[in-house]
Structure 1
Amino acid sequence: MITLVSALLALGVTGAETATGAAGSSDLYVSPSGDDQANGTVQHPVRTLERARDLARDRVADLDGDLTVHLAAGTYRRSKPLVLDARDSGANGHKVVWQGTGNTVVSGGRKVAGWQKDEGRPGLWSAPAPQGLTDTRQLYVDGVRAQRARGAVPVALTQTATGYTASSGTLAHWKHPSDAEFVYTSGEALWNIERNGLGQWTEPRCRIAAAEGTTITMAQPCWDNSNKRVEFPDIPGRTVSMVGPGRLTNGGRATYIENAYELLDQPGEWYLDRTEHRVYYLPRAGEDPTRADIELAQAEKLVDGRGTASAPVHDVAFRGLQFSYATWLTPSRPEGFSEIQAGYTITGDKGWATQGLCQYVEGGTCPFASWTKMPGNVSFAHGQRIEFSDDVFAHLGASGLDLGAGSADSAVSGSIFTDISGNGLEIGGVDGQTPATGVQVTNNHLYGLPREYHGGVAILNGYTRHNTIAHNQIDHVGYSAISMGWGGWPDKIGDPATANPSHDNAVRDNLISDYMQMLDDGGGIYTQGLTGTSTADGEKVTGNVIHDQLGLGKSVYTDNGCTYETIEGNVLYGAAYANVGSRHTDYRDGLGNNDPTLIKGNWWEEGTADGDNKGLVTSGNKIMATPSDVPSQVLANAGLEPAHRGLLNRKIGAAAAPEAPSRVGTGTAGADALQVTFNPSFADGGSPVTGYTARAYDARGSQAGEQSVSATEFKRTALVRIGGLPASGGPFTVTVTARNAHGASAPSPASLPLTPTAVHALPGAPTGPKLRAASTAATVAWTPPTATGDAKVIGYRVTVSDGRAPIDVRGRDVLVTQPSAKGMFRVLGGLAPGTSYTVTIAAVTAAGTGPTATVTATTKP
Structure 2
Amino acid sequence: MGGKMLAPRRAALVAALSAVLALGVPGSVTAAGADAGNGHPADTHASDVYVTPTGDDHAQGTARHPVRTLQRARDLARTRAARAKGDLTVHLASGTYRTDKPLVLDARDSGRNGHTIVWQGTGSTVISGGKQVQGWQPVHGRPGLYSAPAPRGLTDTRQLYVDGVRAQRARGEVPVGLTPTATGYTTTADTLAHWRHPSDAEFVYSSGEELWNVERNGLGQWTEPRCRIAAAKDTTLTMVQPCWDNSNKRVEFPDIPGRTVSMVGPGHLTNNGKASYIENAYELLDQPGEWYLDRSAHTVYYMPRKGENIRHADVEAAAAEKLVDGRGTAAAPVHDVAFRGLQFSYATWLTPSSSEGFSEIQAGYTVTGPTGWATQGLCGFVEGGTCPFASWTPMPGNVSFAYGTHIEFSDDAFTHLGAAGLELGTGTTDSQVKGSTFTDISGNGLEIGGVDGRTPASGVEVTDNHLYALPREFHGSVGILNGYTQHNTLAHNQLDHLGYSAISMGWGGWPDKVGSPATPNSSHDNAVRDNLIFDYMQMFDDGGGIYTQGLTGTSQADGEKVTGNVIHDQWGLGKSVYTDNGCTYETVEGNVLYGASYANVASSHTDYRDQLGNHDPTLIKDNWWEEGTADGDNKGLVTTGNHIMTAPSDAPAAIVGNAGIEPAYRGILSRTAGAVSAPEAPSRVGTSTAGADALYAIFNPSFVDGGSPVLGYTAHALRPDGTEAATATLSAADYKRQAYIRISGLRADAGPFTVTVTAANAHGISAPSLASAPLRPTAATVLPAAPTGPKLRTEAKAATVAWTPPTDMGDAKVIGYRLTVSDGRTIEVTGRDALVGQPSGKGMFRVIGGLTPGTSYTVTVAAVTAAGVGPAATVKATTKAG
Question: Match of 2:481, as an amino acid?
Answer: L
Match of residue 736 from structure 2? 715
- Is residue 750 of structure 2 the alignment partner of residue 732 of structure 1? no
- Is residue 147 of structure 2 the alignment partner of residue 111 of structure 1? no
- Is residue 840 of structure 2 the alignment partner of residue 857 of structure 1? no
Match of residue 684 from structure 2? 663
Residue 379 (structure 2) aligned to one of 349, 355, 358: 358
Match of residue 68 from structure 1? 89
Match of residue 451 from structure 1? 472
Question: Match of 2:857, as an amino acid?
Answer: Y
Partners of 2:86 and 2:620 lie apart in 1 by 47
Preserved contact between residue 698 and residue 732 of structure 1 (Cα < 8 Å) = yes
Match of residue 558 from structure 1? 579
Partners of 1:631 and 1:403 lie apart in 2 by 35
Which one is further off, 371-380 or 53-62? 53-62
Partners of 2:628 and 2:16 lie apart in 1 by 61
Cα 1:649–1:816 shift into 2, 3 Å: same
**Structure 1 stretches of 4+ moved >3 Å:** 5-17
Report deviation, 1:501: 0.2
- Is residue 167 of structure 2 the alignment partner of residue 146 of structure 1? yes
- Is residue 857 of structure 2 the alignment partner of residue 837 of structure 1? yes
- Is residue 193 of structure 2 the alignment partner of residue 172 of structure 1? yes
- Is residue 559 of structure 2 the alignment partner of residue 544 of structure 1? no
Match of residue 229 from structure 1? 250
Match of residue 825 from structure 1? 845
Preserved contact between residue 17 and residue 122 of structure 2 (Cα < 8 Å) = no
Partners of 2:14 and 2:847 lie apart in 1 by 62
Report deviation, 1:16: 4.8
- Is residue 439 of structure 2 the alignment partner of residue 418 of structure 1? yes
Residue 508 (structure 2) aligned to one of 470, 487, 498: 487
Partners of 1:623 and 1:188 lie apart in 2 by 30
The 5-angstrom pairing of residues 41-120 of structure 1 reads 41-120=62-141
Preserved contact between residue 203 and residue 279 of structure 2 (Cα < 8 Å) = yes
Match of residue 614 from structure 1? 635
The 5-angstrom pairing of residues 310-349 of structure 1 reads 310-349=331-370
The 5-angstrom pairing of residues 389-400 of structure 1 reads 389-400=410-421
SS in 1 for 2:737: helix
| TM-score normalized with structure 1 length | 0.98
Residues matched between the structures, number: 856
Report deviation, 1:64: 2.1
Partners of 1:37 and 1:228 lie apart in 2 by 56
SS in 2 for 1:562: coil
Map Cα deviations across residues 734-774 of structure 1 (whole Å, 9 max, x no partner): 00000101101110010001111101111111111111000
Match of residue 496 from structure 1? 517
Which one is further off, 446-455 or 640-649? 640-649
Residue 836 (structure 2) aligned to one of 816, 820, 823: 816
Partners of 1:156 and 1:796 lie apart in 2 by 38
Partners of 2:707 and 2:100 lie apart in 1 by 29
Match of residue 383 from structure 1? 404
Match of residue 694 from structure 2? 673
SS in 2 for 1:79: coil
Match of residue 783 from structure 1? 804
Match of residue 155 from structure 2? 134
Report deviation, 1:187: 3.1
Map Cα deviations across residues 665-719 of structure 1 (whole Å, 9 max, x no partner): 0000011110000000000000000001100111122111111110000000000
Partners of 2:630 and 2:315 lie apart in 1 by 57
Question: Match of 2:149, as an amino acid?
Answer: P
Preserved contact between residue 268 and residue 282 of structure 1 (Cα < 8 Å) = yes
Question: Match of 2:601, as an amino acid?
Answer: V
Partners of 1:700 and 1:372 lie apart in 2 by 44
Cα 1:670–1:97 shift into 2, 3 Å: same
- Is residue 54 of structure 2 the alignment partner of residue 33 of structure 1? yes
Residue 238 (structure 2) aligned to one of 200, 207, 217: 217
Report deviation, 1:233: 1.2
SS in 2 for 1:690: strand
Preserved contact between residue 605 and residue 826 of structure 1 (Cα < 8 Å) = yes
Cα 1:12–1:221 shift into 2, 3 Å: farther
Preserved contact between residue 498 and residue 530 of structure 1 (Cα < 8 Å) = yes
Partners of 1:332 and 1:63 lie apart in 2 by 45
**Superposition CA RMSD, Å:** 1.3
Question: Match of 1:79, as an amino acid?
Answer: D
- Is residue 214 of structure 2 the alignment partner of residue 203 of structure 1? no
The 5-angstrom pairing of residues 574-593 of structure 1 reads 574-593=595-614
Cα 1:211–1:12 shift into 2, 3 Å: farther
- Is residue 799 of structure 2 the alignment partner of residue 771 of structure 1? no
Which one is further off, 415-424 or 18-27? 18-27
SS in 2 for 1:503: coil
Residue 635 (structure 1) aligned to one of 633, 652, 656: 656
Preserved contact between residue 14 and residue 99 of structure 1 (Cα < 8 Å) = no
SS in 2 for 1:713: helix
Partners of 2:480 and 2:394 lie apart in 1 by 13
Report deviation, 1:855: 1.1
Structure 1 unaligned segments of length 5 or more: list them. Answer: none
Report deviation, 1:831: 1.1
Match of residue 518 from structure 1? 539
Report deviation, 1:280: 0.2
Question: Match of 1:89, as an amino acid?
Answer: S
Preserved contact between residue 9 and residue 16 of structure 1 (Cα < 8 Å) = no
SS in 1 for 2:750: coil
Map Cα deviations across residues 557-597 of structure 1 (whole Å, 9 max, x no partner): 00000000000000000001000101110000011100000
Preserved contact between residue 183 and residue 254 of structure 1 (Cα < 8 Å) = yes
Cα 1:774–1:97 shift into 2, 3 Å: same
Which one is further off, 377-386 or 6-15? 6-15
Partners of 1:185 and 1:362 lie apart in 2 by 32
SS in 1 for 2:748: coil
Preserved contact between residue 247 and residue 268 of structure 2 (Cα < 8 Å) = yes
SS in 2 for 1:284: coil
Question: Match of 2:407, as an amino acid?
Answer: I
Report deviation, 1:286: 1.0
Residue 182 (structure 1) aligned to one of 203, 226, 231: 203
SS in 1 for 2:430: coil
Report deviation, 1:790: 1.3
Report deviation, 1:9: 4.6
SS in 2 for 1:57: helix
SS in 1 for 2:210: coil
Residue 423 (structure 2) aligned to one of 402, 406, 409: 402
Identity in percent: 77
Preserved contact between residue 9 and residue 17 of structure 1 (Cα < 8 Å) = no
Preserved contact between residue 22 and residue 64 of structure 2 (Cα < 8 Å) = no
Partners of 2:23 and 2:279 lie apart in 1 by 47
Preserved contact between residue 14 and residue 122 of structure 2 (Cα < 8 Å) = no
Match of residue 644 from structure 1? 665
| TM-score normalized with structure 2 length | 0.96
Match of residue 7 from structure 2? none
Cα 1:17–1:761 shift into 2, 3 Å: same
Cα 1:11–1:78 shift into 2, 3 Å: farther
Match of residue 471 from structure 1? 492
Partners of 1:241 and 1:502 lie apart in 2 by 21
Partners of 1:336 and 1:389 lie apart in 2 by 33
SS in 1 for 2:710: coil
Residue 292 (structure 2) aligned to one of 271, 279, 295: 271
Report deviation, 1:820: 1.4
Structure 2 unaligned segments of length 5 or more: list them. Answer: 1-12, 35-39
Partners of 2:56 and 2:105 lie apart in 1 by 21
